[in-house]
Amino acid sequence: MFLSRVLLARLGRGIARPHASHSYSTKVPSSNLRRNIALFGFISSPGIWWLTATRDDVPCFEGSPTPQIKLPPGPSKEEITRIISEGAYSHKVDDVSGVHRYDGTQLASNGPCEDRFLHGKLPSPRKDGSHWMTWAVFDGHAGSQTADLLEKQLMPFLVHKLDQIKSLPNNDSMAEEFIHRAITQGFLDFDKAIVDAAVDVTRSNLPLHEKVKLLAPAYAGSCALLSLYDPASSILHVACTGDSRAVLGQQGADGKWEVIPLSVDQTGYNAEEAERLQKEHPGEEEMIKNGRVLGLAVSRAFGDSRWKWSLEFQKEMKQRFNGPAPLTPRYDVRTPPYLTAEPVITSTKIDPSKPSFLIMASDGLWDMLSNKQAVDLVGKWLEPVDNRVELEPTYEPFDFGQFWKGMNWKFEEKRTTVQDENAAVHLVRNSLGGNHNELIAGRLAFGPPFSRHVRDDITVQVVFLNVPDIKNI
């Protein structure tokens, strides 16, 4: 009846004042007006809806003797460029010594994309008023909630940890130790907050829907790849938790690009990781199979609390909050936790006299490219335009069955192309097919969940260090 009264008031005003220019009148309403008001007063809300709704927009179907299947065409060459460039960005850096520019992009496969990233400046832990640079890639899995939390909150938390260093030593090796300790503790404390928060939420008096939302970052998981660049010492610190990867390309006197790995994938295929886990969980021979840790592709990660909680708590979460199914009986869970967010950290001195670039990417790129191939591609991208010779290739009509007939589904050098102004987009294009436009278009034509069979979420950052003359700018 509230709607009836509001509409009555509006309609009554409209009848009493048919023209905006008329002044308000205190005359007694006419009999017709009184009759209309009385009529409206007896109409209920549904009745008013019936009187005021448009009733001539009902769909009308016509007969057709045959199905008319009309679908939009697959991506054209121009559409390919638009799609892979949609998430691109590029920044010139003028006030941090040694960093000249960085490019980035993101291409989703999941819906929504489970990857996240960040980039920017932070106050120098040396407390001298200068700034460091940071870049990070967060490869989420089983949802984007953990990666989303890392994107928004990890860097402020680490800045606080670094700020707690009272005085950073001038000695590089000692300074590295302080930085490593702060980053490691920051990663571990942040992950502990995610895992422990779930326990606190279950004991709280919050409404169910709020509890379910707050538990999501603990159910999902994320890898983390973080770089910090100190311009005062020209040292690049790289912290890796998971299987996102960082690699450095450094140009030698002969003009060739040297490949320097800055991280190693942390999976069950990594012999050191497998050995570490076996020492922590002796006698659990079934823990690692086909490179996976109790079914999980990585051996270190944020979140993924089922690999950290006790079996009893996993069951409680499933029963009370419809959480993910416990790892048992599919996997033999005996002595959790099996995962850690502790990063492996490397520190690399960047030679100011040698042009260098840093490539950071989620495994969606590395599924298609090796470290050397990625470095060579960026090196090719840096060549002056006049030095490039590219012939338009001709390919036979393509379908995915050709992957089973000897065609390589990963990058092939003969498919290399240079046509993008953004170095990260250049890497994505070549990882998906390069100059084989039909192959790329076919991969891009799939939407989730089927796109995951032909490509993963891809997030890439390329940072140019001591490369002031970039021809593509």
User: Over the stretch 67-101, which tens digit does the pLDDT of each residue have?
Assistant: 877 766 778 889 999 999 999 999 999 999 999 99
Nearest-angstrom CA–CA distance, 193 and 160: 15
**What H or E segment, with its residue span, contains residue 409?**
none
The label of the residue with tokens 């005003």 reads 13
414 is written with which tokens?
């003969």
Could you tell me the strand order of the sheet in which 99-107 lies? 89-92, 99-107, 458-465, 356-361, 245-251, 257-261
The label of the residue with tokens 């990417």 reads 361
Give the pLDDT of residue 44: 52
Cα angle 224-229-230, degrees, rounded to a multiple of 5: 140
pLDDT band at 46 (very low <50, low <70, confident <90, very high): low
The beta-carbon contacts of 70-75 under 8 Å, at least 24 apart in sequence, are: 74/441, 74/442, 74/444, 74/445, 75/440, 75/441, 75/444, 75/445
Give the pLDDT of residue 334: 96
Please name the residues in contact with 339: beta carbons below 8 A apart, sequence gap of 6 or more: 293, 296, 298, 299, 300, 301, 304, 307, 308
Least confident of 39-53, 92-106, 167-181, 209-223: 39-53
Least confident of 69-83, 114-128, 153-167, 317-331: 69-83
Nearest-angstrom CA–CA distance, 299 and 292: 8
Give the pLDDT of residue 471: 60
Q: What is the pLDDT of residues 59-68, one digit of tens each?
A: 988 888 888 7
Please tell me the pTM assigned to this model. Answer: 0.85
Give the pLDDT of residue 457: 98
Q: How many residues does the chain have?
A: 473
What DSSP state is assigned to residue 296?
A: B
Nearest-angstrom CA–CA distance, 433 and 85: 15
416 is written with which tokens?
């290399």
Percent of the chain clearing pLDDT 70 (strictly above): 86
- Please compute the mean of the pLDDT values over residues 283-300 and round it to a whole number: 97
Is the pLDDT at 169 greater than 50? The verdict is yes
Is the pLDDT at 3 greater than 50? The verdict is no
Is the pLDDT at 17 greater than 50? The verdict is no
Question: E strands of 208-244, at which residues?
Answer: 221-222, 224-230, 235-241
Is the pLDDT at 35 greater than 70? The verdict is no
Give the pLDDT of residue 53: 59
- Please compute the mean of the pLDDT values over residues 226-252 and round it to a whole number: 97
Nearest-angstrom CA–CA distance, 40 and 19: 21
Give the pLDDT of residue 51: 57
Please name the residues in contact with 43: beta carbons below 8 A apart, sequence gap of 6 or more: 4, 51
Counts of helices then strands in the chain (DSSP H, E):
13, 15
Nearest-angstrom CA–CA distance, 310 and 291: 23
Give the pLDDT of residue 143: 96
Bridge-based pairing of strands 344-349 and 356-361 is: unpaired
Q: How far is CA 37 from the centre of its chain?
A: 59
Q: What is the pLDDT of residues 260-280, one digit of tens each?
A: 999 999 999 999 999 999 999
Q: What is the DSSP string of 160-176?
A: HHHHT-S---SSHHHHH
Give the pLDDT of residue 48: 58
Q: How far is CA 400 from CA 126, 365, 439, in A?
A: 54, 19, 8
Is the pLDDT at 37 greater than 70? The verdict is no
Cα angle 18-22-24, degrees, rounded to a multiple of 5: 100
Percent of the chain clearing pLDDT 90 (strictly above): 76
Is the pLDDT at 7 greater than 50? The verdict is no
244 is written with which tokens?
């996102």
- Please compute the mean of the pLDDT values over residues 157-164 and round it to a whole number: 97
Is the pLDDT at 28 greater than 50? The verdict is no
CB 335 within 8 A of CB 281: yes
pLDDT band at 16 (very low <50, low <70, confident <90, very high): very low
Q: What is the pLDDT of residues 315-367, one digit of tens each?
A: 999 999 999 999 999 999 999 999 999 999 999 999 999 999 999 999 999 99
Bridge-based pairing of strands 302-303 and 292-293 is: unpaired
Give the pLDDT of residue 464: 98
pLDDT band at 6 (very low <50, low <70, confident <90, very high): very low
Give the pLDDT of residue 21: 40
Mean pLDDT, all residues of the chain: 89
Alpha-carbon Rg for the chain, nearest whole angstrom, is 30
